[in-house]
A and B are shown apart, each in its own frame.
Chain A
Amino acid sequence: MELLFDEFATRYVRGEHPDVREYLERAGPEREELGRLLDRFLEAVPARATSEEEIVLMQARLEQQPPILLLRLRRKLGREAVVAALVGQLRLDPGKSDKVGGYYHDLEVGNLDPEPVDRRVWDVLADVLEANVRGLAVFRPEPPGMTASAYMREPTMPALYERVSVFPEEANAIEPDEIDVLFLGP
Chain B
Amino acid sequence: MPGLTTSSMHDARDAEDQRLLDAGELSLLVESYYGVMLDRCRARVWPEADAIGVAAEVAIRLLSELKRGRRYRVPFRVVVHKVIGWKIQEHFSPARVKEVELEEWLQEASTESQSELEPDAGFDALLEGLTELEQEVLRLRYADDLGFQEIATKLDKEPNAVHQIHHRALTKLRGAAA
Contacts and interface: CB of A to CB of B under 8 A. Distances in A.
Nearest to B173: A37
A9 B63 CA distance: 29
State which size class the interface on B falls in: 35 or more
A36 interface: yes
A62 interface: yes
A58 B64 contact: no
Contact of B142 (A38, A45, A54): A45
Contacts, number: 140
A42 interface: yes
B15 to A, nearest CB: 12
Interface in B157-178: 166-167, 170, 173-174, 176-178
Nearest to B31: A55
Nearest to A9: B142
B170 A46 contact: no
Interface string B19-52: 0000000010001111111111011101011001
Given A37-B174, A40-B126, A62 B145 contact: no
Q: Which of B6, B42, B81, B176 has most A Cβ within 10 Å?
A: B42
A80 interface: no
B176 to A, nearest CB: 7
A50 B56 contact: no
Contacts of B176: 40
Given A39-B177, A44-B126, A62-B60, A21 B48 contact: yes
Contacts of B56: 58, 61-62, 151
A45 to B, nearest CB: 6
Dominant SS at the A interface?
A: helix
Interface in A100-114: none
Interface string A1-27: 110011001100111010011001000
Contacts of A161: none
Nearest to A30: B174
Contacts of B72: none
Nearest to B56: A61
A81 to B, nearest CB: 27
Nearest to B46: A24
Interface residues of A, number: 43
Contact of B178 (A36, A48, A54): A36
B102 interface: no
A39 B126 contact: no
A61 B43 contact: no
Contacts of B97: none
Contact of B1 (A46, A61, A151): A46
Closest 6 CB pairs of A and B: A44-B126, A50-B35, A47-B36, A46-B9, A36-B177, A20-B42
8 contacts: A5-B170, A20-B42, A20-B43, A39-B88, A50-B32, A55-B31, A151-B60, A152-B64
Given A14-B2, A20-B43, A50-B36, 20 more contacts: A2-B170, A6-B170, A9-B141, A10-B142, A13-B1, A20-B39, A35-B44, A36-B43, A38-B43, A44-B121, A44-B123, A44-B126, A47-B36, A47-B77, A48-B39, A57-B38, A58-B34, A58-B37, A61-B53, A152-B64
Interface of A: 1-2, 5-6, 9-10, 13-15, 17, 20-21, 24, 33, 35-51, 54-55, 57-58, 61-62, 138-139, 149, 151-153
